[in-house]
Structure 1
Amino acid sequence: MSQHNDTPSSHYFVPEPSPWPFIAMFAMFALLAGTALIINDIGFGNVLVTLGALLLTYMLYGWFRDVVGENLSGQYNHQVDRSFRQGMYWFIASEVFFFASFFGALYYIRNIAVPWLGGAGYLGTSALLYSQFTGDWPTAGPGDLGGDLTPMGAWGIPALNTMLLLSSGATLTWAHWGLKLNNQKTLVRGLIATITLGLLFVGFQAYEYQHAFAELNLTLASGVYGSTFYILTGFHGMHVTLGAIMLIAILGRSMKGHFSPRNHFAFEAVAWYWHFVDVVWLGLFIFVYMV
């Protein structure tokens, strides 16, 4: 993904069968099942989450190691590079639709379903729930089953996290400039700054969740507002964490001199992913926290 050899274009490298997709599947299953058990206070959820995290870490290390080894051994040519680029295009496209579905759900719930259940519009009728229901947002659910919650404000940790992510996009671009100019010091410093800002973002989001649970009574049981809040911000936080892991791998490769000003698609792919995560956060900040 960063170097090309002089192999004739008729040659196209096909890797050996790999165990990593299966390990990734089991890791994700353990993580999701464990999280569901923890949320419902059932059994050994912590064990499954820990197992899933370890399997995921092992999978990422092993898969990255294999791909880098294939690249450095001269197996890749321009055709393989083109395949990697097309794969990354489609991966990011799938991520766009993934988050679009959740933003669409938020829009539908907030602007159509809740007002309709509250009696708005010619089809509106509060009798579907109970006569005292009002279509206010945020809602804690029918009969306020979610309890007396306080919405998460925008001008605290969320605003700080916005500054952190936007700054990380700038430092990553700075690192890319250094790579194009063959300046390894700028490349490494920019990557270190980007990783630091990304990890700070994750840390502040964890603190935000603790604050929401302990002081705002904003939990996954806080009606549809709590559900949409955590599914949007939680999945985004997972993407930032994964992006930081990939940036750490890119930092290690950069320090070993694996990239050149002409051939560095691995860096570009992670940069595309990171900038996509930045854009998604801007949408979250506007539509989840501000509006």
Structure 2
Amino acid sequence: MRSPFHLVEVSPWPIFCSVSAVCVVVGFVDWISGNSFCLMICSIGLLVLVLFQWWRDVIRESDQGWHTSFVAKNIRLGMVLFIMSEIMFFLGFFLGFFSSSLVAGIEGGAVWPPVGIVSLNPFSVPLLNTSVLLGSGVSVTWAHHALVAGNRNEVLWGLYFTVFLGLYFTVLQVFEYFECSFTIADGVYGSLFYVMTGFHGVHVIIGNVMLMVCLWRCFNFEFSSERHLGLEVSVWYWHFVDVVWIFLFLCVYWWGG
């Protein structure tokens, strides 16, 4: 009798993904510190390549019939637990931000932002980024509901808009970094700002790649109104990215600035 559960084979992708993710972080810090961004770009390319290979294997398992209802249920649970771990990850940064801002240290003039820091105007590029990301949340929800209703054309258009808005957000974030008057080495404010927004930017890039994969699969008729687990968990992840950015905008850009 066949078991409803799937025992995955040995895979090299988890360790490769971890190493490439660490390299992305190191490259980002190196770039923000005023050095070349070559390491960051190469690391992002390596991370995308590893994720492509990993998702390719998962899609093959699905096509071979291994993703039964029991497996799909566990994948959804795993995604929920992963998002919860990500929430705790960002919560640590927010706690550090409020700990530093509510009781400002004397080395920064006992004020927040510290003396010498010219914070960004929250109602310029950050507000535009907020509207872009919220718009992408609407379009990806539209795509999800259209897939459940069996309307493939609307699914494609919804994913097109979402991927475009995600890329636009990333471009705006990079230009914002170039316009900043402070760096990651400028005290606790610079460190917290770049680490919090930078990690969120990495999550946006990963979420965008996930949606690109879903767009490609939908274009090749690999999703149906009953079987679209990949798109479903990608939509969850994208909404998580949206919510984190709202808190970043309100706390770091608006209140913290």
Report the TM-score range of the alignment, normalised by the length of the smaller protein: over 0.9
**How far apart are the structure 2 equivalents of 1:190 and 1:36?**
34
Determine the structure 1 residue equivalent to 2:242. 278
Mapped contact 1:176–1:187 kept (Cα < 8 A): yes
**How far apart are the structure 2 equivalents of 1:274 and 1:108?**
28
Q: Structure 1 residues 285 and 149, CA, compared in 2 at 3 Å: closer, same or farther?
A: same
**How far apart are the structure 1 equivalents of 2:197 and 2:114?**
18
Letter in structure 2 aligned against 1:175: A
**How far apart are the structure 2 equivalents of 1:161 and 1:39?**
20
- Following TM superposition, by how much is the alpha carbon of 1:150 offset from its aligned partner in structure 2, in angstroms? 1.1
Determine the structure 1 residue equivalent to 2:51. 60
Determine the structure 2 residue equivalent to 1:187. 155
- Following TM superposition, by how much is the alpha carbon of 1:266 offset from its aligned partner in structure 2, in angstroms? 1.0
SS of residue in 2 equivalent to 1:151: coil
Determine the structure 1 residue equivalent to 2:120. 152
**How far apart are the structure 2 equivalents of 1:107 and 1:157?**
23
**How far apart are the structure 2 equivalents of 1:28 and 1:202?**
17
Mapped contact 1:218–1:226 kept (Cα < 8 A): yes
The answer as to 2:215 corresponding to 1:247 is no
Determine the structure 2 residue equivalent to 1:137. 112
Q: Structure 1 residues 33 and 278, CA, compared in 2 at 3 Å: closer, same or farther?
A: closer
Q: Structure 1 residues 39 and 176, CA, compared in 2 at 3 Å: closer, same or farther?
A: closer
Q: Structure 1 residues 190 and 37, CA, compared in 2 at 3 Å: closer, same or farther?
A: closer
Mapped contact 2:32–2:183 kept (Cα < 8 A): no
Instruction: Figure out how many residues of one structure are paired with residues of the other and give that number.
Output: 255
SS of residue in 2 equivalent to 1:154: coil
Q: Quick check: which one's helix share is greater?
A: 2
Q: Structure 1 residues 209 and 24, CA, compared in 2 at 3 Å: closer, same or farther?
A: same
- Structure 1 unaligned segments of length 5 or more: list them: 1-6, 119-128, 141-147
- Following TM superposition, by how much is the alpha carbon of 1:36 offset from its aligned partner in structure 2, in angstroms? 4.3
**How far apart are the structure 1 equivalents of 2:184 and 2:124?**
21
The partner residue of 2:24 within 21, 31, 41 is 31
Determine the structure 1 residue equivalent to 2:145. 177
Mapped contact 1:27–1:51 kept (Cα < 8 A): no
5 Å-filtered alignment, 1:71-110, equals 71-110=62-101
SS of residue in 1 equivalent to 2:223: coil
| Larger radius of gyration between Structure 1 and Structure 2 | 1
Mapped contact 1:13–1:80 kept (Cα < 8 A): yes
- Structure 2 unaligned segments of length 5 or more: list them: none
Mapped contact 2:33–2:183 kept (Cα < 8 A): no
Letter in structure 2 aligned against 1:52: S
The answer as to 2:135 corresponding to 1:167 is yes
**How far apart are the structure 1 equivalents of 2:251 and 2:29?**
26
**How far apart are the structure 1 equivalents of 2:109 and 2:38?**
42
Determine the structure 1 residue equivalent to 2:187. 223
Determine the structure 2 residue equivalent to 1:126. none
Determine the structure 2 residue equivalent to 1:232. 196
- Following TM superposition, by how much is the alpha carbon of 1:39 offset from its aligned partner in structure 2, in angstroms? 5.1
SS of residue in 2 equivalent to 1:201: helix
**How far apart are the structure 1 equivalents of 2:32 and 2:147?**
44
| TM, length-normalised to structure 2 | 0.93
**How far apart are the structure 2 equivalents of 1:220 and 1:201?**
21
Mapped contact 1:102–1:232 kept (Cα < 8 A): yes
| TM, length-normalised to structure 1 | 0.82
**How far apart are the structure 2 equivalents of 1:40 and 1:288?**
20
Q: Structure 1 residues 201 and 40, CA, compared in 2 at 3 Å: closer, same or farther?
A: closer
**How far apart are the structure 2 equivalents of 1:37 and 1:282?**
27
**How far apart are the structure 2 equivalents of 1:26 and 1:54?**
13
Mapped contact 1:26–1:52 kept (Cα < 8 A): no
